[in-house]
Structure 1
Amino acid sequence: MTEVKRWTVSVFVDERDSRTYAEARLQAGDKTRLTYLAGTGQARLNPADKDIPEIGDELAVARALSDLGHQLLLTATADIQATSDRPVHLSR
């Protein structure tokens, strides 16, 4: 039987001064090697728009998850380069 890996992403959302902030934290790996990464995102309420908090949450979280995904690609690129003798270019 193959081992199932568990990667956990926790998302935290906070609102201050008409801005919504989000942080997406990844914990991945096993007992021998753990990886911790965090992505951040924010959204701001345009004064001309209706105040609908869910929209700010969605935008800020989407941006935090996108940032986290980009950091994960950079981490994978660095890991591949560490084991090879040539430059690595991963695309989204």
Structure 2
Amino acid sequence: MTTTRWDVQVFLSEQDGTTHAEARLFSSRRDHLSGTGTARLSPEDHMDVAEIGYELATARALVDLGERLQRVAHGDIEALAQF
């Protein structure tokens, strides 16, 4: 059995009602990939709950990272199919 470890780090920042997240994937086989996501406080929101902005921005960054990783995998498959 082989075990490989990949790590994802999420970096969060917040400014003027906008939360930004960057999810970075690190593996030993390639340069890191990253995805980004944002969440904005709606003018109709009665409360500014930072944790909700962190959750939404992080979820969106992870989705973006997943889509980018799928594109890399499809590119790798296409490159192998040409042999």
- Fold match by TM threshold 0.5: yes
| AA aligned opposite 1:19 | T
Q: How many residues align?
A: 81
Partner of 1:70: 67
- Return the match for 2:36 from 40, 44, 57: 40
Q: Which has the higher helix share?
A: 2
* Correspondences of 1:1-92 after superposition (within 5 Å): 2-29=1-28, 33-49=29-45, 50-85=47-82
Higher relative contact order (CA 8 A, sep 6+): 2
Superposed displacement of residue 66, structure 1: 0.3
CA-based RMSD of the aligned residues comes to 1.0
Q: Which runs of 4+ in 1 moved over 6 A?
A: none
User: Could you tell me the TM-score, scaled by structure 1's length?
Assistant: 0.83
Consecutive unaligned residues of structure 1, counting only runs of 5 or more, are 86-92
